[in-house]
Amino acid sequence: MVDAATRLSTTPDVSIEPVTAPQIDVAALNDALLGTWADTRREAREMIKDSAFWRKDELGKDEHRERVLSQLHLLVENKAVHRAFPKSLGGEENNGANIAGFEELVVADPSLQIKSGVQWGLFGSAILQLGTTEHHEKWLPGVMDLSIPGAFAMTEIGHGSDVAAVGTTATYDPEAEEFVIHTPFRAATKEYLGNAALHGVAATVFAQLITNGTGHGVHCFYVPLRGEDGNDLPGIGREDDGLKGGLNGIDNGRLSFDHVRIPRTNLLNRYGDVAADGTYSSAIDSPGRRFFTMLGTLVQGRVSLDGAASWASALALKIAITYATERRQFDGVDGQEVVLLDYGKHQRRLLPRLATTYAQIFAHDEFLQKFDGVFSGRTDTPADREDLETLAAALKPLSTWHALDTLQEAREACGGAGFMFENRLVGLRADLDIYVTFEGDNNVLLQLVGKRLLTDYASQFKGKDAAALAKFAVGMTAGKVFHGAGLRQLGQAVSDFGQVSRSVERGLREEQQHDLLAGRVQQMVADVAGRLRPGAKDKALGARLFNENQAELIEAARAHGELLQWEAFTDAVHEIEDADTKKVLTWLRDLFGLQLIEKHLAWHLINGRLSTQRAAAVSSYIDRLCARLRPYALDLVDAFGYEPEHVRAPIASGIEKQRQDEARAYYADLEASGEAPVKEKKTKREPLGDLKKR
Q: What is the 3-state secondary structure (H, E, C) of 29-88?
A: HHHHHHHHHHHHHHHHHHHCCCHHHCCCCCCCHHHHHHHHHHHHHHHHHCCCCCCCCCHH
The arithmetic mean of pLDDT across residues 226-230, rounded, is 94
**What is the per-residue pLDDT for 162?**
85
606 and 585, same structural domain? yes
When mean pLDDT is compared across 7-21, 88-102, 477-491, 506-520, the lowest value belongs to 477-491
What value does the mean pLDDT take over residues 223-241?
96
Among 77-86, 156-165, 265-274, name the one with the lowest average pLDDT: 156-165
Kindly tell me if the per-residue pLDDT of 257 is higher than 80.
Answer: yes
What confidence category does residue 614 fall into, taking pLDDT thresholds of 50, 70 and 90? confident
- 203 pLDDT higher than 90: yes
- Domain assignment present for 105: no
Q: Confidence band (pLDDT; 50, 70, 90) for 45?
A: very high
Mean pLDDT on 259-265 = 98
In a domain, 414, yes or no: yes
Residue 326 CA to residue 337 CA, distance in Å, equals: 11
Domain boundary among 245, 261, 287: 287
DSSP label at residue 186: G
3-state class of 163 per DSSP?
helix
Strand pairing of 169-173 and 337-339? unpaired
More confident residue, 329 or 238: 238
Q: For residue 106, is it within any domain?
A: no
Q: Are 424 and 311 in contact (CB under 8 A)?
A: no
Reported as a pLDDT band with limits 50, 70 and 90, residue 440 is: confident
pLDDT at position 161: 77
**Lowest-pLDDT range of 213-227, 449-463, 647-661:** 449-463
Mean pLDDT for 666-691 is: 77
How many Cα atoms occupy the beta-carbon half-sphere of 551 within 13 Å?
Answer: 1
- Residues 305 and 247 both lie in one domain: no
Per-residue pLDDT at 296 = 80
279 lies in the same domain as 396: no
**pLDDT, position 505:** 54
Q: Are residues 367 and 260 in the same domain?
A: no
DSSP conformation letters of 255-316: EEESSEEEEGGGB--SS-EE-TTS-EE-S---HHHHHHHHHHTTTHHHHHHHHHHHHHHHHH
Q: Give the model's pLDDT for residue 584.
A: 97
Domain extent for 662: 654-693
Q: 170 pairs with which residues across the strands?
A: 181, 209
At 390, is the pLDDT very low, low, confident or very high (cuts 50, 70, 90)?
very high
Higher-confidence residue of 608 and 322: namely 322
Indicate if 641 and 659 belong to the same structural domain: no
- Do 646 and 661 share a structural domain? no
Q: Which comes out higher in pLDDT, residue 483 or 536? A: 536
Q: Mind telling me the catalytic residues?
A: 439
Question: Which range is least confidently modeled, 131-140, 335-344, 504-513?
Answer: 504-513
> What CATH number does residue 422 fall under?
1.20.140.10
Name residue 203's beta-bridge partners: 151, 223
* Angle, in degrees to the nearest 10, between helices 344-376 and 26-34: 50
Residues 6+ apart with CB under 8 A from 250: 65, 68, 111, 114, 115, 118, 194, 195
Angle at CA 19, nearest 5°, toward 16 and 23?
A: 110
88 domain residue, yes or no: no
Distance CA 375, CA 299 (A): 10
Using the predicted structure, report yes or no on whether residue 530 has a pLDDT greater than 70.
yes
| DSSP-based three-state secondary structure for 8 | helix
Mean pLDDT, residues 61-89 taken together? 97
2 burial via Cβ count (<10 Å: 0-12, 13-18, 19+): exposed
State residue 111's pLDDT score: 98
Residue 153 has pLDDT above 80, yes or no: yes
Alpha carbon distance 124, 122 (integer Å): 6
Local confidence band at 336 (pLDDT 50, 70, 90 cut-offs): confident
Burial 150-185 (b: 16+ CB within 10 A, else e): bbbbbbbbebbbebeebbbbbbbeeeeebbbbbbee
* Sign of torsion over alpha carbons 188, 190, 191, 197: negative
659 lies in the same domain as 642:
no
Q: Is pLDDT larger for residue 275 or for residue 661?
A: 275
The contacts of residue 46 (CB under 8 Å, 6+ apart) are none
Residue 394: inside a domain: yes
d(CA 113, CA 106): 5
Q: Is residue 134 part of a domain?
A: no
471 pLDDT exceeds 60? Answer: no
What are the pLDDT digits (tens) for 270-318?
999 999 999 999 999 999 889 988 888 779 999 999 999 999 999 999 9
Q: Residue 429 and residue 442: Cα distance in Å, rounded?
A: 17
- Contact assessment for residue 486 and residue 564, using Cβ atoms and an 8 Å cutoff: no
Strands 169-173 and 260-263: unpaired
**Cα(440)–Cα(393) distance, rounded to whole angstroms?**
8
Number of domains in the chain: 3
Task: Check residue 667 and give its pLDDT.
Answer: 87
Counting residues of the chain whose pLDDT is more than 90, the rounded percentage is: 76
Residue 80: what pLDDT? Answer: 96
Q: Do residue 633 and residue 659 come from a single domain? A: no
> Is 124 contained in some domain?
no
The torsion of the CA quartet 381, 36, 560, 492, rounded to 10 degrees, works out to 100
**Average pLDDT value over all residues in the chain:** 89
Q: How confident is the model at residue 637 (pLDDT cuts 50, 70, 90)?
A: very high
Task: Kindly state whether residue 558 falls inside one of the protein's structural domains.
Answer: yes
For residues 517-542, give the mean pLDDT.
91
Across 660-677, average pLDDT:
90
Q: Which CATH number fits the domain that encloses residue 231?
A: 2.40.110.10
Q: pLDDT by residue (tens digit) across 174-199? A: 999 999 999 999 999 999 999 999 99
Question: In the chain, what are the helix, strand and coil shares in percent, each to the nearest 5?
Answer: 60, 10, 30
CB neighbours of residue 393 within 10 Å: 25
Residues 663 and 566 occupy one common structural domain:
no
Separation of alpha carbons 584 and 373, rounded Å: 32
Distance, in Å, from the CA atom of 435 to the CA atom of 599, rounded to the nearest integer, reads 24
Same structural domain for residues 269 and 330?
A: no
Confidence of residue 465 (pLDDT cuts 50, 70, 90): low
**Same domain flag for 500 and 361:** yes
Distance CA 289, CA 295 (A): 10
Same domain flag for 562 and 474 = yes
More confident residue, 483 or 325: 325
Q: Which of 220, 254, 287 is the last residue of a domain?
A: 287
